[in-house]
Chains A and B, each alone.
Chain A
Amino acid sequence: MSRYIATRAIRGANAIVAEADGLLNKAIAEKGGDFPVAFPNTAYYLPVMYGMLGAEVSTLGQIEPILEHAKNLLHPLPDEQLWTPYLGETLDCGMSTLLAAEAIEAIRFVYGEQPEPYPGLELAGATSFTSPDNGGGPAADGHLNGPIDDIQLRSWGIQLVDGRMPGFAAIIGAAHSNKAAVAIIRELQKRNILTFLTGNVNGRSIIDQLVEEGVEIGYDTYIVPFGRDTISAIYAAGFATRSALTFGGMKGGQWREILLYNKFRVFAFGLALGEVDDLKYATAAGVLSYGFPVIADTIIPEILPTGVTRYEHVISMPWNEIEGKTEEEKAAKLVQKCIEVRGVKIQITEVPIPVPYGSAFEGEVVRRADMRVEFGGKNSRAFEYLLMADKDEVEDGKIELIGPGFEEIEEGGYMNMGIVVEVAGRKMEKDFEPVLERQIHYFVNGASGIQHIGQRDIAWIRISKTAVEKGLTLKHFGDILYARFHGDFGTIVDKVQVKIITEPDLYAEWLEKARAAYDERNVRIGAMTDESVEEFYSCTLCQSFAPDHVCVVSPQRLGLCGAYNWLDCKASFQINPTGPNQPIRKGQCLDPVKGYFVGVNDYAKSGSHGSVEMVAMYSIMENPMTACGCFECIMMVIPEANGFMIVSREDTSMTPAGMTFSTLAGMAGGGLQTPGVMGIGKFYIISPKFIPADGGFKRVVWMSSIFKEQMAEQLKQVAEREGDPDLIDKIADERICTDVEGLLKHLQEKGHPALTMESLL
């Protein structure tokens, strides 16, 4: 253990605890001990305090004992003469630093100083929680992100568990140059690593550098700017703590389990750019307890022995000494080192195109002003069609552009385009066509400078001017698809050929063929029912995060994350026969209404390590399916209304259950079986197998309005199927009421059928 690091970390910890103490006393004197304190949109209070100490802090006064605890963890500076092992003291001080930092950020929220104002900044992605309504901060003129809310944490959950997002990096400080900052970020994005930005050096933060270079930052691009000081790095620790609470089913106060969960499951590391001050050392000591190593691009002492983290603890890799001719080469080596030190396993498919490529660019938006050309949208049409063909008909690697490119189109113009992908493979099945076709969206979107929305014949693609300046052409779409289909689906796809069609006659001809295929698929998928198959599929993808949870996916009940339906699972099993999606023989049907099957029960018992005995596929009131934490929505019984409410994870409003989504999620997640509460995928709502045992769709008395907007057409069809075409209007939403009294009034006024149905309880 380095005496130098121990001294600086312990000094930083003493100072920040003293500072937090002073701020708290001032805040209590000015606002009172009962003044409410909270981070927005989280059910986990101040998450590090809650996770580590089990403290449900909701007022300023309740922070006092936390800071007393932090003081107790402090140690004196190491002796100048007598050198002893200091690791224990340093880790203690690191933890007290985190507690103090969280206290400071909470107090800053009280004073409206968080999220940190950043005039002119527009974040990419949904950051509704930092709006003036619930963030309390000055949002109108631009602001940084502040803490990540529970909604976003959950929506990233599936990506964290399926490996699309291998982990997160917390960057503290500023890079050597703007170019270096962009290069480091691009390297992290290429590997789909979620990146948190904090800290500064001489007032300059990597956030400033990226903004100056026009890099889009926000949830959608996996780059989250927390704040321009090191204190805001506490949000990264809060995120890690909540990962364990949300997906690991842990409770507040289980500090040992939470820290170990992070060490073994959350692949994160800190990257200190530029000079490292006392507080940065102290914060690094705090995150070491989570098992996260820290890498610095300056000369600092190292801590190489393993133990607290998996590999080395603190590594120095001075920027000037990294071998490489360009900033990009140096950045690649630095990021590679970070990944090695943390032990993250990342498989990258090399995509030979002239722009950066990775899932982190999937959410990137190409605005009209930055657009070179678009396909689809208001003025033109784009379609994509993947079909299976005989081996002899497919020439592997053949990429054709049939018709003119966009070079002749004026800037900001549009044209028609069709993407036809022909695949062949011994294990390929007709049923996998739509599964693979849906991947085109993700694959194409991965290129920096391409925006892809929609699917089938309503695809809408934009290419940015920057991408075209770098040499991106239509043929590169073929390169992307060829590389990714081989990389990701190599076990079922042996040959891939791509046609990019812009020639009008051929375009019309293929569009006709594609539409005929879409219709045929619709009929086939519509006819697929739970009764028509012999096997359901398990999905244990989330067990890396929620060890006792098992999803059972049937044709009429998709996974609760919304990302895996029955066909996806079937394809996934073909691709990886020992993977997370295993066929479950239904076996004898014990109860067709509630959905009890011998095979499903057996699998649930073994898959959940004995914590679940039985699963009812079609009931929420009796042995409902468990949930990990990635659910798209939560259903909960409202006894007074004799029905259920369905809350979207995108809905931050209060619900008639008296809880917001975030609070409800604590009851539904973590692999627990709670009758009356269930996490589901939103398309399960429109399934004919939607809780038939409990009365079906007619039991829905309240739903987030976002469903009524996003799924209007499908819900209308469901209402007609249920024999009550006005049913959707009878269902309340958050615009109508957010309490039981209001709900009952609405239901009675509209004559909702749930009121006259058999009692649920």
Chain B
Amino acid sequence: MEKLILEVPSMYADHHVLTVRDALTDLKGVDEVYASSTWKQVLISYDPAKVKPKAIEKTLADAGYPVGEGETPILVKASAIKRDPKWETLGVRTTKTNQIDIDMSGEHRRY
């Protein structure tokens, strides 16, 4: 058995892990799979006589998880002035504590 570690940047959550594992464990020659959504890596034990790394990578790509490509999509990018643009668009940020919060907190809260 040989071991292979592949970087899969788009595997950021455990529902992806289920798909990745389903795809790889169906592959003949693959013995063990450890897919980590935390590290976005897949560790594969395989029999080189039965399956080649290229085939493993292709299987991953076909399942929607290309090796070493792509990244976790970030919809909101920081602007050049290093200021979070959402503070402008939300516009309702205030440092004043809302009266309802005060009413509802403390030992004699109504909620």
Contacts and interface: CB of A to CB of B under 8 A. Distances in A.
Interface stretch (A216-224, A256-264, A371-379, A666-674): A256-264
A608 to B, nearest CB: 14
A17 B85 CA distance: 18
Contact of A277 (B21, B34, B37): B37
A208 to B, nearest CB: 11
B21 A203 contact: yes
22 contacts: A11-B72, A11-B74, A12-B13, A12-B72, A14-B74, A14-B75, A15-B12, A19-B73, A73-B86, A73-B90, A76-B74, A76-B76, A76-B86, A173-B14, A200-B18, A202-B21, A203-B18, A278-B12, A278-B13, A278-B72, A280-B13, A547-B111
A368 B110 CA distance: 50
Interface in B63-79: 72-79
Contact of B75 (A74, A92, A173, A260): A74
Nearest to B72: A15
A277 B13 CA distance: 6
Nearest to A307: B105
A717 interface: no
Interface in B17-42: 17-18, 21, 33-38
Interface string B83-111: 01110011001000010110010000111
B93 A88 contact: yes
Give the 5 A-B residue pairs with the shortest CB-CB distance, closest first.
A279-B13, A229-B15, A277-B37, A76-B78, A18-B73
B70 to A, nearest CB: 11
Given A16-B13, A230-B13, A231-B15, A72 B34 contact: no
A202 B17 contact: yes
A362 interface: no
Of the four ranges (under 10, 10 to 19, 20 to 34, 35 or more), the interface on chain B belongs to 35 or more
Of the four ranges (under 10, 10 to 19, 20 to 34, 35 or more), the interface on chain A belongs to 35 or more
Contacts of A231: 13, 15
Contacts of B38: 275-277
A14 B13 contact: no
Interface in A70-90: 71-77, 79, 82, 88-89
A218 B61 CA distance: 37
B12 A279 contact: yes
Given A18-B73, A76-B74, A264-B111, A277 B86 contact: no
Contacts of A719: none
B73 A15 contact: yes
Nearest to A82: B82
A261 B110 CA distance: 10
Contacts of A260: 101, 104, 111
Contacts of A18: 73, 75
A14 B76 CA distance: 7
A74 B14 contact: no
A11 B71 CA distance: 11
Contact of A75 (B12, B35, B76, B110): B76
A73 to B, nearest CB: 8
A249 to B, nearest CB: 12
Given A228-B18, A275-B37, 9 more contacts: A73-B86, A75-B84, A89-B86, A228-B14, A231-B13, A256-B101, A260-B111, A264-B104, A275-B36
B12 A199 contact: no
A265 B14 contact: no
**Interface of chain B, helix or strand or loop or mixed?**
loop
B81 to A, nearest CB: 11
A567 to B, nearest CB: 33
Contacts of A277: 12-14, 36-38
B111 to A, nearest CB: 5
B73 A79 contact: no
Contacts of B21: 202-203
Contacts of A280: 13-14
Contacts of A264: 104, 109, 111
A553 B79 CA distance: 63
Contacts of A737: none
Most buried by B among A71, A73, A202: A202
A230 B75 contact: no
Given A203-B21, A228-B18, A279-B37, A77 B78 contact: yes
Contacts of A28: none
A72 B35 contact: no
Nearest to B37: A277
Given A88-B93, A202-B21, A264-B104, A17 B75 contact: yes
A202 B34 contact: yes
Interface in A1-55: 11-12, 14-19
B13 A74 contact: no
A389 interface: no
Nearest to B110: A547
A200 B37 CA distance: 10
A256 B102 CA distance: 12
